[in-house]
Amino acid sequence: MSVTREKILELGEELILTKGYNGFSYQDISTAMGIKNAAVHYYFPSKETLGTSILKTNVQRFEEMVENMQNRNFDEWHQLESFMKIYLKSNRENKICLIGSLGTDINTLNDPMRVELQKMVDRIVSWLESILLSGKEKGLFEFSISAHDQALQILSSLIAGLQLARILNKSEFKNIHQSIWEEITPQNKK
């Protein structure tokens, strides 16, 4: 796969996370790369094909991470920690996440992008749910609501945590991150 294409995907993702899907243009990408905006159209005919590709790349990256963690026999606690580290990194870079960013613009996206976004969120929620459930059975986590609801709760905190931190103060995110652990860490381990 061409290096130009890779670079466009990378820049496009970064722009979605910093300026929002409707807040950036092909010009932003082409200027950063020293080419004309139409060159971007060669690789991604429409903005929506670019958006869809970015989403698919992210789902793939997520699946690779999950597979990798299973191969290394990460326990549920470390799997959750690894997932949260993605958000800690985004916070350091003053970015929000794809879900929060594209969630705002969802009514302006075409069907393929919307479907891909739904698939991504679905996949993450069900993975979180399964991690929480088996982790709870092992005594690694403790919570009283359903694993599904707890998954939604954690994901919400992470998504909006990044948004709030960017509005208020970058450092607020570590409080949110901390609170998530407080919430699901068993009493005897506190």
Shortest distance, position 51 Cβ to DNA, whole Å: 10
Shortest distance, position 134 Cβ to its own copies, whole Å: 20
What is the CB neighbour count within 10 angstroms for residue 40? Answer: 24
Task: Tell me which residues in 22-51 interact with DNA (CB under 7 A).
Answer: 24-28, 35-39, 41-43, 45-48
Task: Tell me which residues in 104-133 interact with its own copies (CB under 8 A).
Answer: 104-108, 117-118, 121-122, 125
What single-letter amino acid sits at 184?
A: I
Q: Which is nearer to DNA, 2 or 71 (CB)?
A: 2
Interface residue with its own copies, options 4, 49, 82, 153 (CB under 8 A): 153
Q: Which span (1-9, 47-55, 134-142, 158-166) binds its own copies, by CB under 8 A?
A: 158-166
Residue 59: name its binding partner from its own copies, DNA, none (Cβ under 5 to 8 Å by kind).
none
The site for DNA (CB under 7 A) is made up of: 2, 4, 24-28, 35-39, 41-43, 45-48
